[in-house]
Amino acid sequence: MGKRYFGTDGIRGRVGEYPITAEFMLKLGWAVGRALQTKGFNRIVIGKDTRISGYMFESALEAGLSAAGVNIALLGPMPTPGIAYLTRTLRACAGIVVSASHNPYYDNGIKFFSRDGQKLPDDTEQHIEELLDQPFDTVGPDALGKAERIVDAAGRYIEFCKSTVPSWTSFASLKIVVDCAHGATYHIAPSVFSEMGATVIPVSVAPDGVNINQDCGSTKPAIMRETVLEQGADLGIAFDGDGDRVIMVDHRGDILDGDELMFIIARDRLRTGSRFNAVVGTLMTNLGLEIALRALGLDLHRVKVGDRYVMERLLAEKLILGGENSGHIICLDRTSTGDGIISALQVVTAMLQSGKSLHDLKAGMTKYPQTLINVSVTGEVDLQRPPIQEAIRAIESQLGEHGRVLLRPSGTEPVVRVMVEGPDGGTVERHARELAGVVREALSA
């Protein structure tokens, strides 16, 4: 059966529009409580980012969970990976994240972690959806769930982040700009890096409920870049609203995306003796990373776009590193989910132990130019139509082994994403525009 509410990353939408309403969240909290409580595990943690709607949804979920007889631990504003960590260490049966990640403030969503700090399996999500169709009932007054606030949640997570790098590591020689996107890392990330010894210049750390991700953070790194250049900093680090993505900038103002950061981490893991033979990326992972990894003796396993699919492959192949070019990086040898702060710590540690600047450290990988064009579509999308396939074959023939063509329908918008990648930017852009025109004409016909 298909799922009505759960997408690849929980439930997400515009606040006030079904199902992102207080009424639905009350029922959702009850369904989750019914589905996930087990003997010996009767507590669920709730954390959120800094959106104003988080207050409303946190309260609604709390009421639903209490009605189902589940105890609640409230974490307050907390990065998504911090909620995953505290779900494990507090021995909860699940963790709930109230966040829409990198989206604007008027969106919100719900994500879940199982007791081991990983995403819920499909069958559990299906069970929750089935319970949403059942009548809402309340346990007896003596069995209602109780709520408590975990007052030291931030401190616990800060200490965990620092524990993912060697204890003798000090960042005392570094000046670092840290952009928190007015989001969930605002009171966490600056402390992590300053306690590691760095001189920290925090930006976008004044959330007001509506400025999350607004012209800042990993999706809009211009402020971070400008501050690095103005302050003569060694590097900059930018997170998204819920802290599971990271983008960095070197001292010259060059931006490093998730692919470049994964290359740096992979090479450093090999240097320190980690044993693995592949890194997991997605269909959008830059060809330059694949070539650079090959030079290190590593394969690149590509999966569908979405951190859920990256995680599935990591677990299936017993690998330790994977991610997306958006900056969502999973270091499974350090934590259980994608974590922007922990990923950044691995990169900065690699800098210090190599004695190289971030700019020099990325030199082992050359990104190939990519052009991505979204073609609006209506109705059925058939990408196997002869004109489209003929155009793809013609472009692939010209690019040879040094280029890629990718067509895929978006999972969130009525568009087909047309991507062409190769060594020459002008050629790539020309091919992408040609192919987009063929797709537009073929599908409209």
Q: Which residues are catalytic?
A: 101
d(CA 34, CA 28): 10
Angle at 165 between CA 159 and CA 168, to 5 degrees: 95
* Range 161-165 contact pairs with CB under 8 angstroms and sequence separation of 24 or more: 161/188, 161/192, 161/339, 161/341, 161/342, 161/345, 162/192, 162/195, 162/196, 162/345, 164/331, 164/334, 164/335, 164/342, 164/345, 164/346, 165/196, 165/345, 165/346, 165/349
Please state the three-class secondary structure of 235-300 as a single string: EEEEECCCCCCEEEEECCCCEECHHHHHHHHHHHHHHCCCCCCEEEEECCCCHHHHHHHHHCCCEE
The contacts of residue 44 (CB under 8 Å, 6+ apart) are 32, 33, 36, 37, 65, 70, 71, 72, 73, 92, 93, 94, 95, 96
**Which residues, listed in sequence order, are joined to residue 323 by a DSSP beta bridge?**
329
Structure tokens belonging to residue 180: 């928190």
Structure tokens belonging to residue 230: 């103005």
Residue 45: which of 196, 149, 188 has the closest Cα?
149
**Residue that the structure tokens 């090999």 belong to:** 270
Structure tokens belonging to residue 334: 């350090």
- Cβ burial 330-351 (10 Å sphere, 16+ → b, else e): bbbebbbbbbbbbbbbbbbbbb
DSSP string, 1-41: ---SS-BTTBEEEETTSTTSSHHHHHHHHHHHHHHH-BTTB
Query: In what side-by-side order are the strands of the sheet with 321-323?
Result: 299-303, 278-282, 321-323, 329-331
d(CA 301, CA 283): 9
Pairing of β 321-323 and β 299-303: unpaired
Angle at 302 between CA 297 and CA 305, to 5 degrees: 145
- DSSP one-letter code for 379: S
